[in-house]
Amino acid sequence: MAIEQVREYFNELGIADRILEFSVSSATVDLAAEALGVIPDRICKSLSFHDRSEGAIIVCASGLARVDNRKFKDTFEQKAKMLSADDVFRYTGHPVGGVCPFALPDGRNVRVYMDESLKKYDTIFPACGSANSAIEISPDELFEVGKALDWVDVCKDPENEN
């Protein structure tokens, strides 16, 4: 199970005791926010895209953020094309609803990035490999623990959309 791999990974970092598990689903932004009792935008979603180098790109973004196709193309020099559920699992080892940047399988060519939308909160809640788990973590700690390559600005600000 993916959550067990995340737990092992977090054990090595000394933070496994911070994993939160729920008796209800946290597989969507709204469900996770309800399970945690926080606003949906504090949920950190992991968006999975095809990478033209025959791999995957994961962009972690705030719960209400939406990918801006122009910004994505300018940043990654390719169109934003989401992975299928099967490809998400194949590349990340995590099921849809539990995708996170933690404990990703070696050799799958997955690049992780953090969107600037996460920086507006002191702490956020990404999943931990299952559809009923999360961890409260700061954006900077997520960057480090998630082994992100860089901060990017590829999302629309939901407060400024028409």
The percentage of residues in the chain with a pLDDT greater than 70, rounded to a whole number, is: 96
Q: What is the per-residue DSSP string for 40-67?
A: GGGEEEEEEEEETTTEEEEEEEETT-EE
- What is the per-residue pLDDT for 1? 66
* CB count in 10 Å sphere of residue 78: 14
Domain over 2-150 is classified CATH 3.40.605.10: no
Given a cut of 90, is residue 133 above it in pLDDT? yes
Region for 141 from its dihedrals, namely left if φ exceeds 0, alpha if ψ lies in -120 to 50, beta otherwise: alpha
Q: Report if pTM > 0.85.
A: yes
Which pLDDT tens digit goes with each residue over 67-89?
999 999 999 999 999 999 999 99
Mean pLDDT of 100-118: 95
- Calculate the dihedral angle through the C-alpha atoms of 153, 30, 101, 114, rounding to the nearest 10 degrees: 10
Rounded CA-CA distance 161/83 in Å is 25
Q: Domain residue spans in the chain? A: 2-150
Which pLDDT tens digit goes with each residue over 35-66?
999 999 999 999 999 998 889 999 999 999 99
- What is the per-residue pLDDT for 108? 87
DSSP 120: G
Give me the half-sphere count of Cα atoms (radius 13 Å) on the Cβ side of residue 56. 29
End-to-end CA distance of the chain: 41
